[in-house]
Chain A
Amino acid sequence: DSGVTQTPKHLITATGQRVTLRCSPRSGDLSVYWYQQSLDQGLQFLIQYYNGEERAKGNILERFSAQQFPDLHSELNLSSLELGDSALYFCASSVSGQPSHNEQFFGPGTRLTVL
């Protein structure tokens, strides 16, 4: 157990819908990263928040957004869902905002299926 929690574990929804994925980082970690894992694209970095502020953006679609709250938990919002958004979504956390300084601990993931 990494100490990072994610809910829900599984999510099944229809095209065009909107969902919210939730992540709670390890105690003491200020940075949260979101990754998408699919068979064709592999593990891709989406976005990073550090202490409530957006720190870096990766391959995140405009239909996707995220935020980090004062208690440091983070939510990833996916809207106008398409079949291709079906994937495993991981959250990771680290102590500092620079991944070169600290290990990223991954949560168990949320498996999203869009029908």
Chain B
Amino acid sequence: GENVEQHPSTLSVQEGDSAVIKCTYSDSASNYFPWYKQELGKRPQLIIDIRSNVGEKKDQRIAVTLNKTAKHFSLHITETQPEDSAVYFCAASPGGGADGLTFGKGTHLIIQP
């Protein structure tokens, strides 16, 4: 089955700086890669996603890049703000049929004032 590795497990950045979280996946058939943000005690919420026919996608301060050859994808957050502090999860979903998401272990992003 699919295996998703996520790094780093904890990331501390100064407010206003950029943050980058990286994930790798194992199943070359995977074709959908969402990123979820989870605040303490809350539900995971989708912040951005990318499909395998696209190399990059941007939504305001958030961008995701995908390298299918290397089987890795990354989340980029620019001009970080205190409200960006949370746990971020990457996920992958194999194509070809219905299946649940395989999640990375999560990155705890801490924005230092």
Listed in ascending order, the chain A residues whose CB lies under 8 Å from chain B are: 2, 31, 33, 35, 42-48, 50, 55-56, 58, 90, 97-100, 103-109
Contacts and interface: CB of A to CB of B under 8 A. Distances in A.
B8 interface: no
- The DSSP consensus for interface residues of chain A is strand
Given A44-B103, A48-B100, A56-B98, 13 more contacts: A43-B103, A43-B106, A45-B100, A50-B98, A55-B98, A56-B100, A90-B43, A99-B98, A100-B32, A100-B51, A103-B34, A106-B44, A109-B43
The interface size bin for chain B is 20 to 34
A96 to B, nearest CB: 8
Contacts of B93: 99-100
A98 B29 CA distance: 14
A35 B38 CA distance: 14
Contacts of B101: 33, 35, 43, 45, 99, 104
Contacts, number: 66
Contacts of A56: 97-100
Contacts of A55: 98
Contacts of A46: 100
Contacts of A103: 34, 46, 49
B7 interface: no
B32 A99 contact: yes
B45 A98 contact: no
Contacts of A50: 98
A42 B99 contact: no
21 contacts: A2-B43, A2-B45, A33-B100, A42-B103, A42-B104, A43-B89, A45-B100, A47-B100, A48-B99, A55-B98, A56-B97, A56-B98, A90-B43, A99-B93, A99-B101, A100-B32, A103-B34, A104-B34, A104-B46, A106-B44, A108-B42
